[in-house]
Structure 1
Amino acid sequence: MAAEVEEVFFREWRRRGPGETRSLERARALAERLALPDPDRPVLAVVGSKGKGTAATYASAVLAASGLRVGTVTSPAYRGNRERIRVDGRAVGEAELERLAGRLQDGIRGLPGRAGGYLSPSGLFLLAGALHAREAGLDVLVLEAGMGGRSDEISLFPPAVAGITPVFREHAGVLGDTVTEIAEEKAGAVAPGTRAVVSAPQSEEAARAIATTVRKITGGAVETPRAGGGLSADLLPADLLPAGLSRSAAETGHLAALRLLDACDRDAPPPRRLRATLETLTLPGRLSWHGVPGTGTALLADSAIDRAGLAAAVTTARTRWGTIDHAVVCLPDHKDVDGAITELRDLPVTCVRLPYDHLRFSRPLPETWDVIDAAALTRESLAGLGRRVVVLGTVYFIGLVLDLVDADTDRLFTPPPP
């Protein structure tokens, strides 16, 4: 993405002052200047702590398989920011993103000063994606929340249907201090006119908070069924679901898409067309397999950030390979570093530090672990770690690795022709 285009989306975030937070009110004012939201374009909103991108991708694929033209906005990107906005699974082009940035910039010039906070990058991409959907005449929008729900820019787009992926104690002190408070905040993206809400399996604490919040907002008109909880008739065949912890998110996205089709009086996609679409679906960085170009090294890349996710990735790699030569991990202090130490205790490990001021890498690590800066990670250094390497950590880090190995992230699925 050209520097001047990137500046539009990231300028205010990069110039934020100490303690300054994003401003939902300024985002709302910008949306109004852009004549958003568009009431003629139904929205499927995806919120939660983990698996939002998977749920949004599966929901988009199911809707596209039904014959609808689907706009999808997710966050963050894999290799480049144009991937945050997609049409029927394909990332928008550089020229289109530049045009959208220009539209945003025109709107931002008319806003009052930043006394109330900054415009967040994820919120601006959300507005750009909605703007593109309207101007391209798309049928529906699938929007992934950046972080929260009620306090996130996704709340500016009242959803016809909401999908809620697993909620845990993430961003404690920002979204809330307990799982209950965080679940209430995320479920707060639901609107009075929401027709259906589908939740992934949750802890009892999160499930109660979600159900209570949804009933309160919708006046008791909407219940919150859980994917996998007595809805087996709606579930996809096992061979069309991803492995590991992404499975429940995929089921949630699928069920939410079916509910949106119901709300729009549209038929579910024919089984053969749905299968043809989902057989093309890829989830880069979610237990995805790659080769290091020009070498014999194979990688398993997964954006695991807690012990359960790390364990699932290690098990998946050992099931295919038998043995693992090396693990490369990137977990800032606020992620589950202790879980990583436990799950990777039998492996040679290299820990990678990212050069971002807002991330800290100060937690004590085992003496046997190598520690390097991200700039030292190259194709050659990856290949030097062995022939079977697992790469684990934050989405931003996994994106860096996907870029190194030139992974195809431009298209996530391909619906067959009508």
Structure 2
Amino acid sequence: MADWDFGRLFARRAAGVRLGLDAVRGAHRALGAPCADRPALRVVGTNGKGSCVFALSEALRAAGRRVGAYTSPHLSSVEERVRIDGLSVERDVLGAACEAVLTVADDPRLSRPLSFFEVLTLAALRIFEDADVDVVVLEAGLGGRLDATGVVEAAALGVTRIGLDHQDVLGPDLASIAREKAGAMAPGQAVVSVPQVPPVRRVLSDHARSVGARLRFMADDEIRAAAGRWPDHLAPARALAVALGRVLVPELSASHLPASPPFGRGTVVPFGRGTILLDVAHNEDALRACGALVAARAPGGRADLVVFGCIGTRDPAALVAPLASRARHVRFVDLGPEGAPLPEGACALSGPAEAAAWVGRMAARGGTCVVAGSFRLVGPVANLLGVAETTLARPDPQDPTGRPPAA
């Protein structure tokens, strides 16, 4: 469907996050239940979900399967959320699928209208059904128990590292957040988790017993064996991809995995005489890992400039502290009405455009720069500097905010 108005989709962001499966299940049935009978793998967690889905999809493809992968958020263009065999679907294909979903999205027989994320989830499933994929791989958007990706029954569930994030929605502590993620488990389902801290491990184990899921935790040596050359903090996600994929494809091995993580996860690109590190780290654990990456890779273990921005009610100064300790200069970026409040008295930049200008000047002179935080910062800065991954290089022209939307 040429020139479909994606503004109709983005307008649904105004309703915010809507958790609960009743409405999306009703709409899924009305659409003919796409992918209900196709093998599916689902990934929940806090850090490493997107990296795991990327590795899993590429591994399955290398093993000869036709794979439909659904991820969120996106860096540059909404169609990158829906990929078949590693390639983003064409914009007109996504538009046609969204149009089909919107015919039922506001049906009064549903318990409520569908959200932005729910429409996209059902559109992705419709596309995968039409493309006759062999395997569907789904990244949960938020939580797990009530997330829209639970509309199809997954053959197996992968759990990446669980940490503190989205406490305003998922709960104030690790146990609360873990319960929401554990809620994605189903009776008899194979569940594979990376190693977790004791409070999280207890919650996952207790819930698995209560619903009859077959949970196992990966061992450290299993992770080391599949780590490849990925950064240490992403090695568990890479190893989880193999373990999860083997539920459907027993012959899957680390040899099927991609050599590099997905773009924007600790990606280092040359720029002028310097380098830029791009990382969508936006919670405590991820930013601590980003700081360790800078310590290992930057000259002298320090970056010349860090630009950081996040959304919601988070405290940017507290979040970025582990990374800021590895930087000579830190600038916070204003991400608009949905952005987190800027620290009082902080050196602030007016948005991604000014951030890109600062980073470009510093890197061109030979500096080491880090762009970290929200997808809404990392994606636009990469595009403005011309260093974005080829498939992500076209900014979305119909997002009325001018920034990529969050899940």
Q: TM (normalized to structure 2)?
A: 0.85
Superposed CA deviations along residues 3-45 of structure 1, whole A, max 9, x for unmatched, are 854234333332x38xx84553221111111122534311101
Which of residues 374, 382, 390 is equivalent to 1:402? 382
For residue 358 of structure 1, report the CA deviation from its aligned partner. 3.2
- Call closer, same or farther: CA 1:224–1:378 in 2, change over 3 Å: same
Q: Structure 2 matches for 1:353-392, cutoff 5 A?
A: 353-355=334-336, 357-364=337-344, 367=345, 369-377=346-354, 379-386=356-363, 387-392=367-372
Residue 139 of structure 1, aligned match among 122, 134, 142? 134
SS of 1:284's partner is coil
Report Cα offsets for 1:175-227 as digits up to 9, x if no partner. Answer: 23332222121121122252x11111111111111122122223xxx432223
Q: Within the alignment, does 1:112 sit opposite 2:100 as a pair?
A: no
Correspondence for 1:71 among 58, 68, 73: 68
Residue type of the partner of 2:29? E
CA shift, 1:61, in A, is: 1.4
Give, in whole Å, the separation in 2 of the partners of 1:381 and 1:343: 18
- In 1, the alpha carbon distance for the partners of 2:43 and 2:177 equals 15
Deviation of the 1:318 alpha carbon: 4.4
Deviation at 1:148, TM superposition (A): 1.3
Equivalent position of 1:341 in the other structure: 321
Q: Secondary structure of 1:391's match?
A: strand
CA displacement at 1:152 relative to structure 2: 0.6
Whether 1:123 and 2:118 are equivalent positions in the alignment is: yes
Count of aligned positions: 384
Looking at structure 1, the residues matched to 287 and 145 of structure 2 have their Cα atoms a distance apart, in angstroms, of: 30
1:13 corresponds in structure 2 to: 13
> For 1:242 and 1:71, how far apart are their aligned partners in 2?
23
3-state SS of 1:392 partner: strand
Kindly state the Cα deviation for residue 107 of structure 1 after the two structures are TM-superposed: 2.7
Q: Distance in 1 between matches of 2:44 and 2:226?
A: 24
* Structure 1: segments with no counterpart, 5+ residues: 412-418
- SS of 1:44's equivalent in the other structure is strand
Once the two structures are TM-superposed, the CA of residue 341 in structure 1 deviates from its matched residue by 3.1
> Quick one: structure 1 residues 165 and 375, their matched pair in 2 at CA, closer, same or farther if it must change by over 3 Å?
closer
Is the partner of 1:225 in helix, strand or coil? Answer: strand
Equivalence for 1:268: 252
Deviation at 1:259, TM superposition (A): 1.9
* Identical pairs, percent: 27
Change over 3 Å in CA distance of 1:3–1:152 after alignment to 2: farther
Give 1:308 shift: 4.2
CA distance in 1, matches of 2:245, 2:40: 10
Which stretches in structure 2 are left out of the alignment for 5+ residues? Answer: 393-407
RMSD of equivalent CA atoms: 2.7
- Maintained 8 Å contact 1:78/1:284: no
Note if contact 2:140-2:147 (Cα within 8 Å) is conserved in structure 1. Answer: yes
Q: For residues 3-82 of structure 1, what are the structure 2 equivalents within 5 Å? A: 4-14=4-14, 16=15, 21-22=18-19, 24-82=21-79
Compared with structure 1, are the counterparts of its residues 182 and 238 closer, same or farther at alpha carbon in structure 2 (3 Å cutoff)? closer
Tell me the CA shift for residue 170 of structure 1: 2.2
- Which residue among 243, 249, 263 is the counterpart of 1:284? 263
Separation (CA, whole Å) in 2 of partners of 1:229 and 1:342? 25
How far apart, CA to CA, are the structure 2 residues paired with 1:39 and 1:308?
A: 35
Deviations 1:239-272 (A, max 9, x none): 3x4203222122122211112324xxxx336x76
Alignment of 1:157-168 (within 5 A): 157-168=152-163
Q: What is the deviation of 1:351?
A: 0.9
| One-letter amino acid matched to 1:187 | A
Report the 3-state secondary structure (helix = DSSP H, G, I; strand = E; otherwise coil) of the residue aligned with 2:191: strand
Tell me the secondary structure at the aligned position of residue 171 of structure 2. coil
In 1: Cα distance, 2:191 partner to 2:19 partner = 27
Deviation at 1:339, TM superposition (A): 4.2
* Residue pair 1:154, 1:189 contacting (<8 A) in 2 also: no
The one-letter code sitting in structure 2 at the alignment partner of 1:328 is V
Output the amino acid matched with 1:199. Answer: S
Supply the distance in 2 between the matched residues of 1:379 and 1:208 (Cα, whole angstroms): 44
1:227 to 215, 218, 221: 218
C-alpha spacing 1:343/1:38, structure 2 compared with 1 (3 Å): closer
Closer, same or farther in 2 for the Cα pair 1:53/1:5, shift >3 Å? farther
- Residue deviations 1:44-92 (CA, integer Å, cap 9, x gap): 0101111110111111112112111000000001211100000111111
1:187-202 correspondence to structure 2 within 5 Å: 187-194=182-189, 196-202=190-196
Which stretch of the first structure deviates more once superposed, 400-409 or 314-323? 314-323
Identify if the C-alpha distance between structure 1 residues 331 and 337 changes in structure 2 by more than 3 Å, giving closer, same or farther: farther
Residue pair 2:36, 2:153 contacting (<8 A) in 1 also: no
How far is the alpha carbon of 1:129 from its aligned partner? 1.3
Shift of 1:288: 0.1
Q: Is the 8 A contact 1:290 1:299 kept in 2?
A: yes
Structure 2 distance, partners of 1:101, 1:90, is 18
Q: Distance in 2 between matches of 1:312 and 1:169?
A: 14
Q: Match of 2:185, SS?
A: coil
Which amino acid in structure 1 is aligned with residue 217 of structure 2? Answer: R
Q: Is the 8 Å Cα contact of residues 50 and 72 (structure 2) preserved in structure 1?
A: yes
Amino acid at match of 2:85: D
* Aligned residue in 2 for 1:84: 81
Alpha-carbon distance in 2 for matches of 1:373, 1:3: 31
Quote the residue 1:416 is aligned against: none
Identify the range of structure 1 (119-128 vs 81-90) with the bigger mean alpha-carbon deviation. 119-128
